[in-house]
Amino acid sequence: MFDIGFSELVVIGVVALIVIGPERLPKVARTAGHLLGRFQRYAASVKSDISREMQMDELRKAGQNFKESVESTASGVAAQVNVVDDYLKNEIGQIDQAVTTIAATEGANPVSGHAAQLTGESAAQVESTPHPQQSFDLDARPASVVEYASQPDSGKQPSA
């Protein structure tokens, strides 16, 4: 900032000694040192505050960009969900129309009759078989686990 060399400092010191005097010079130098220290601390504080504000501003911008990115992704996903939903509703409508047409031509129970035709089973078997998601029991063990647990260990001796 200031380009002051050693020779300039010596000249300033000699002038201060002549003007202020040898008795008050140490007191003035001490006061000037305290004021310079306060000024440096204040400047460092202002500098760190400005730096902190700049970092906060950058974080806000990054957060805003992230928020916009998430919102655009969410709107894209919502648009795709709507397309799939519309497609599935259209397919369900076509299936209902086909079932109604088959029911009108066959008569009695359109679902069990059509399912029996497709699988080759009787209508009673199709109606009595529960859907896999309806009959799933979380507490039940698979048959292989039950059979394995019921078989005694033939190669090991019981420990006493």
- CB 53 within 8 Å of CB 61: no
The DSSP code for 132 is T
Domain locations in the chain as residue ranges? 7-125
Q: What is the pLDDT of residue 31?
A: 94
Plot region of 140 (φ>0 → left; ψ -120 to 50 → alpha; else → beta): beta
* pLDDT digits 0-9 by tens, 106-116: 765 545 555 54
Write the single-letter amino acid at 68.
Answer: E
For residue range 6-58, list pLDDT tens digits in order: 898 889 888 988 888 889 988 998 999 999 999 999 999 999 999 999 999 99
Cβ within 8 Å of residue 114, ≥6 positions away? 99, 102, 106
Put simply, whether the predicted model's pTM sits higher than 0.75 gets the answer no
